[in-house]
Structure 1
Amino acid sequence: MKPAARPVHFSVLAACLTLATTSAWAQASKLPVTPEQRRVAEQVASAGVPLAELAPNAPDSHTVQPGDTLWDISKLFLKSPWRWPELWGMNRDQIRNPHLIYPGQVLMLVKVDGRARLQFGQRVGGAGDTVKVSPQMRVSALDANPIPVIPLALIQPFLTDTAVFDTDALATAPRIVATQEGHVLLGKGDLAYARGDFAGATDFRVFRTARALRDPATNEILGYEAPYVGTADLIRPGENRARPDGKTDIVPATLRISQVKQEVGIGDRLAPAPQRDLERYVPHAPDQPMAGQIAAIYGDALNAGQNQIVTLNRGKRDGVERGHVFALWRDGEAAVDKTQGKAQAIKLPDERHGVLFVFEVYERVSYALIISVKEPVKAGDRFTQP
């Protein structure tokens, strides 16, 4: 019988962290760790997580595989995947940023005095052999790409395909006023001519007329969601060109259509393309009570299911952050109590039936991915902190 693994102080475990490259570590130090993550990490740095918070079948170890996500790994070890910083907290001093985990790394669950900690280990020998903690560093055996928090394929197209403006800003944004050789609609590679204030930008997303997003409870306009059409690159700025007769010719800017989801036409609006960092979505619960409603289902559907996207009627001003996890609630159904002769109308309790993961936040609205759900989700459904 093999002796039980002894707990190892993390100052020794720090040496076990396997890094893909020195540059990857430098990059990791620049990624943000939220104040809430640090608070939770410090709180459990010496104690670990109660065993009661572990998933019923939590493994003793897990070797990170290509295709894994932080959410997947968290589900292996914890009942509530968004609570992973609590399990990861003891790494905070040596691993200043907990965002980067690489395929090939071994995560070992160490249980001591009714608490659990997740630590880096190193597999020795072949598959199925013992996992041990060892003060060594491997550099060459790892995939150089860290695993994402959630499957990026589910949200990456969305981040390109939509935008919310706090006001109807597109109404005064640069607009396409003419097309190449009188074309009615434009495709990839075609030229478009536009007027407006480009504010020094050169890369643009092209949108159709924005629609108002309204609060389900108050009918207040929360923002304007603009349907995405494509992208365009500025290749020549516009100018006011003086003529010999003293008059002025208005020469619009020239853009080349670089991508299209729909054909581009006269009247479409331009907005500077934002920079996106898809690795910075770390699951965590709000640090204060929070509640709201689903303002809309993205697209034309009336209901939404797992892996679909919904709009929330809460945003930055309400304290919503990227990575926030919310619980979805289903309203209790109306029923009738017939057990005492006279029928009496009753309302059954509300039931929690899903989990939302916020990945994009605007001033007054947010977008969330439905991670799990039991019943169809519709506009007006409510959410709370998990």
Structure 2
Amino acid sequence: MLKPILNLLALCVFCFTVTVSADVLQVREGAPERYIVKRGDTLWDISAIYLNQPWRWPELWRMNPQIDNPHLIFPGDVLMLVYDADGRPMLVRDDRVRRLSPHTRQTDTRPAAVTTVPLAMIRPFLTHDKMMSADELATKPYILGASSNVKNATEGHILYARGELEPDKGYAIYRRGRPYVDPDSGDKLGYALTLVATSRAFRAGDAEQNVPASLYLVDVKREIRQGDIVLPAIDGEALPAYFHMARPEQPLEGVIIDTTSKLREFAKWDIVIINKGAVDQLAPGHMLDILRPSPTVVDSRNGQPVYMEDASRYQRLASNFGHEQIEMPREMVGHLMVFKVTERASFAIVTDTLRPVRVGDRIVNP
């Protein structure tokens, strides 16, 4: 009786050991012991040199009094890979080496500081470009007209909006674009909003009394039309220097529904839109895999399988008569990081690719 119990205990200890060791941060083979931070580096780039899972970079910089805020790393800093008493890897800054530009260390947010991803790539989508559902848009103020009988207002016109605005407050004017459609369900996830102008309110308006609010234009990017949406301006707000990258807590699967580049294929640091959002418990910083199904094969069991795209009409229709359509495995093509979340869709930035990414590729948190 004692022997089976001892065997069971040994098995439990073994399983625990395997689990713990599997969770230990693994450094890539051939990772350098020293690295000099270069201009244009991001935390993702640096961590990808050392880790197969770069989104786990907080663990690599953990408990480091020299690097308590990773975005305090600047070009010219020398980083060293060391191990703690438990054998866990961590990056430290070698302060024995003179930094290339010590006089420029002023604030955490200056452009030369290393950030998680290139802020210049996502800045327009954090401060300007938006996405809103039809229900959200129905509650927002909108342009009624201008001080002159023109269909397209420009600088020099006073604008009137239906809704109540706050005098002396800045407002951005947006044009509703095409809807983003979920290819899985066919539902409209939201509408793209494009910034057309900025303005400042000087009369509040009264929606119940049908008294319009009044605005004067500050900057015009394109002509303003009746029906354009009025939203509080957020230009100038501080942007996050770095995102806390992490996997979502729950399994998730979706699809890339669009890209801002409008190209057929796109690569690292391109911006995409996915069909998952706040209702799916997504948050900025969440990391997802990008997968693509391998081509479907039609197999007639006669030793002559063909790809679906090369199959004859007969082979496509005869799957119930000896010809089998075989769905092939999905393979990894890259990763993306969510950085802006709306109710049912999100903006994300592609952080790395094994092959060019395409609209229609699946996004997965296994």
Aligned twin of 1:193: 160
Encode CA deviations 1:326-363: one digit per residue, 9 max, x unaligned: 11111121124578547554332111101111110112
Higher mean C-alpha displacement, 302-311 vs 352-361:
302-311
Aligned to 2:363: 383
TM-score after normalising by structure 1: 0.70
- In structure 1, the gaps of 5 or more residues are 1-46, 128-137, 241-247
> Is the Cα–Cα contact under 8 Å of residues 67 and 92 in structure 2 kept in the other structure?
no
* Cα distance change of structure 1 residues 364 and 341 upon mapping to structure 2, 3 Å threshold: closer
Residue from 251, 258, 261 that aligns with 1:296: 258
Shift of 1:200: 6.9
Q: Which residue of 1 aligns with 2:74?
A: 102
Q: Deviations over 1:42-78 (max 9, x none)?
A: xxxxx9x957x22334222233344322112212222
Among 259, 264, 270, the alignment partner of 2:224 is 264
| Residue 291 (structure 2) aligned to one of 312, 329, 332 | 329
Report what 2:10 is aligned to: none
- The separation in 2 between residues aligned to 1:326 and 1:350, in whole angstroms, is 15
Contact 2:176–2:191 (Cα < 8 Å) also in 1: no
Q: Does the CA contact (< 8 Å) of 2:164 and 2:213 recur in 1?
A: no
- The one of 59, 64, 88 equivalent to 1:86 is 59
Query: 1:159 is matched with which residue?
Result: 126
TM-score (norm 2): 0.74
Report the AA paired with residue 228 of structure 1: L
Secondary structure in 2 matching 1:122 = coil
1:299–1:341 Cα change, 3 Å: closer
Q: Cα distance 1:123–1:143, how it changes in 2: closer, same or farther (>3 A)?
A: farther
CA distance in structure 2 between the aligned counterparts of 1:300 and 1:94, rounded to whole angstroms: 43
Q: Is the 8 A contact 2:176 2:194 kept in 1?
A: yes
Secondary structure at 2:62 match in 1: helix
CA 284–157 in structure 1, closer or farther in 2 if over 3 Å, else same: same
One-letter amino acid of the structure 2 residue matched with residue 227 of structure 1: T
**2:149 match:** 182
Partner of 1:353: 333
Question: Is the counterpart of residue 71 in structure 1 residue 44 in structure 2?
Answer: yes
- C-alpha distance in 2 between matches for 1:205 and 1:60: 49
Q: Is the 8 A contact 1:210 1:224 kept in 2?
A: yes
1:276, distance to aligned residue in structure 2 (A): 5.4
- Deviation, 1:154, is 1.0
Aligned to 1:142: 105
The Cα offsets for residues 291-349 of structure 1, whole Å up to 9 and x where unpaired, read as 22223334755554443322212112222110111111111211245785475543321
Contact persistence 1:178–1:266 (CA under 8 A): yes
Structure 2 residue corresponding to 1:273, chosen from 229, 233, 250: 233
The equivalent of 2:310 in structure 1 is: none
Amino acid aligned to 1:169? E
Whether the 8 Å CA contact 1:207–1:229 is kept in 2: the answer is yes
**Number of residue pairs matched by the alignment:** 319
Residue number in structure 1 paired with 2:138: 171
State how far apart, in whole Å, the 2-side matches of 1:82 and 1:163 are.
26
Partner of 1:14: none
Counterparts of 1:143 and 1:267 in 2: how far apart (Å)?
Answer: 45
* 2: CA distance, partners of 1:279 / 1:126: 21
SS at match of 1:71: helix
Report sequence identity in percent.
36
Alignment gaps of 5+ in structure 2 = 1-20, 306-322
Matches of 1:273 and 1:225 in 2, distance apart? 17
